[in-house]
Amino acid sequence: MVLYSIGWAWRRVCIAPGEIEGARIAAAIRSFVRWKSAFCVATGAGRVGASRLAAPIGDVDVMSFVLNPQLPPAPKPCSRVARIGAIVSDSGAEKQALLMQFAARRRDEGLRIAGIIEIAAPDHGSDCGALDVLDLATGARISISQDLGPGSTACNLDPGGVAMACAAAQRAIEAGADVVVLSKFGKLEAGHGGLCDAFAAAMAAETPVLTTLKPLMREDWAHFAETLSDELPPSLDALETWWRRLAQRNAA
C-alpha cells in the first residue's frame, strides 16, 4: 500500500515545479498514510486499500501534502468501531493468566464473555507440555495439541483442535457478546489461519477484543489490526485502564 502510494506520488512530483528531497517525500507520504488510515477507520470506512488511499479527502491528497505537509487532525474514532487491546510480552503463561483475570472480572460485572484462553492440558505422562484451550462461553476444554507418542519432547498443534476452538469462539461471538478474549495472535493468525476467523467475527460484530502477542509479531499485528488496536503492557492495571476508557468512549 505504501509502496503504491510512493510510486504514485513520485509520478506526480515529476511534473511539479522545483525539486523536493526524496527523504522528505517518503516521510510526508508515511504521515499521509497514517492520517488517511485513521480517517477511514474513524468514519467507518474500514481498512484503506491502495485506490482509496490515493483518492483525496476534500482538498487533501498525497501530492498536496508532500508540497505542504499540514494535515487536519483525523476525526476521533466513533463508538461503533471495535477496539482491540493487545498485551505484548514474551511470557505466554503470564499473558494467559492476565486474560483469565480480565475475563473473570468482566463476568463478575454480568457481561457476556466469548473467546478462548490457553491452559495446560492434563498430564498424561507426556513430556511435551501439551495445551488445551478453555471456551469462555461454555467452560468446555478443547485440546489443541497432538501427542507424538511416548518419549517425544515435542508437541505439534492439532489443526483439528485449533479449528474447533476457533469455531467455538465464532459461535459465541455471533450469539452475542459484550467482550471477546482470544488467546493470542501468532504465526497461524498472521497466515490467515488459527483464530483469524474469530478475530474477523469480533471485528464484524464491533465487539471489543482483548488478545496477546509476542514482540516479534508486532509487524504482522500492525498489518492485521491497523489503527484498531491499542498495545498494552502485561499488567492487570493496564487492562483495567484500557477497559474503563473504552467503556467511557462507548458511553459518550
125 & 153 share domain: yes
Does the residue 72 lie in any domain?
no
Number of helices (H) and strands (E) in the chain: give both, helices first: 10, 9
Q: Which three cell numbers stand for residue 190?
A: 498472521
CB atoms within 10 A of CB 30: 13
Does the residue 223 lie in any domain?
yes
Does the residue 75 lie in any domain?
no
Q: Could you tell me what percent of the chain has a pLDDT over 70? A: 61
Averaged pLDDT for residues 12-31: 52
11 & 120 share domain: no
Please give the pLDDT value at position 46.
43
Does the residue 47 lie in any domain?
yes
175 & 148 share domain: yes
Averaged pLDDT for residues 14-18: 43
Please give the pLDDT value at position 236.
97
Which domain CATH number covers 106? Answer: 3.40.50.300
Does the residue 77 lie in any domain?
no
222 & 179 share domain: yes
Helix or strand or coil: residue 147? strand
Residue 99 has pLDDT above 90, yes or no: yes
Among all chains, which residue has been given the C-alpha cell 489490526? 225
Please give the pLDDT value at position 11.
40
| Bridge pairing between strands 179-182 and 209-213 | parallel
Q: Which three cell numbers stand for residue 234?
A: 502485561
Averaged pLDDT for residues 194-215: 95
Please give the pLDDT value at position 26.
59
Residue ending a domain, choose from 40, 67, 94: 67
- Weakest mean pLDDT among 109-118, 145-154, 204-213, 216-225: 145-154
Name, in order, each residue with C-beta under 8 angstroms of 31's C-beta and a sequence gap of 6 or more.
65, 69, 71
The whole-angstrom separation of Cα 4 and Cα 53 is 9
Does the residue 156 lie in any domain?
yes
The whole-angstrom separation of Cα 139 and Cα 104 is 12
Does the residue 74 lie in any domain?
no
55 & 121 share domain: no
101 & 216 share domain: yes
Residue 51 has pLDDT above 90, yes or no: no
pTM over 0.85: no
pLDDT bucket at 102, cuts 50 / 70 / 90: very high
Averaged pLDDT for residues 238-243: 95
145 & 232 share domain: yes
The whole-angstrom separation of Cα 157 and Cα 145 is 4
Among all chains, which residue has been given the C-alpha cell 484498531? 228
The whole-angstrom separation of Cα 162 and Cα 166 is 6
Please give the pLDDT value at position 79.
41
110 & 231 share domain: yes
- The answer to whether 48 touches 37, Cβ cutoff 8 Å, is yes
Residue ending a domain, choose from 67, 96, 113: 67
pLDDT bucket at 202, cuts 50 / 70 / 90: very high
**Residues of the domain holding 103:** 84-251
Nearest to 115 by CA among 126, 127, 123, 107: 107
What is the overall mean pLDDT for the chain? 76
Residue 216 has pLDDT above 60, yes or no: yes
Structure letter (DSSP) for residue 126: -
Nearest to 169 by CA among 201, 147, 146: 201
97 & 61 share domain: no
Please give the pLDDT value at position 66.
57
Please give the pLDDT value at position 248.
85
Digit-coded pLDDT (tens) for 138-171: 999 999 987 666 655 555 788 899 999 999 999 9
Please give the pLDDT value at position 158.
87
Q: Could you tell me what percent of the chain has a pLDDT over 90? A: 49
- Comparison of pLDDT for 161 and 73, the residue scoring more: 161
44 & 105 share domain: no
Domains: count for the chain: 2
Does the residue 79 lie in any domain?
no
The whole-angstrom separation of Cα 189 and Cα 226 is 15
Query: CA dihedral defined by 210, 212, 213, 219, rounded to 10 degrees?
Result: 10
Please give the pLDDT value at position 168.
97
49 & 96 share domain: no
The whole-angstrom separation of Cα 196 and Cα 190 is 8
63 & 88 share domain: no
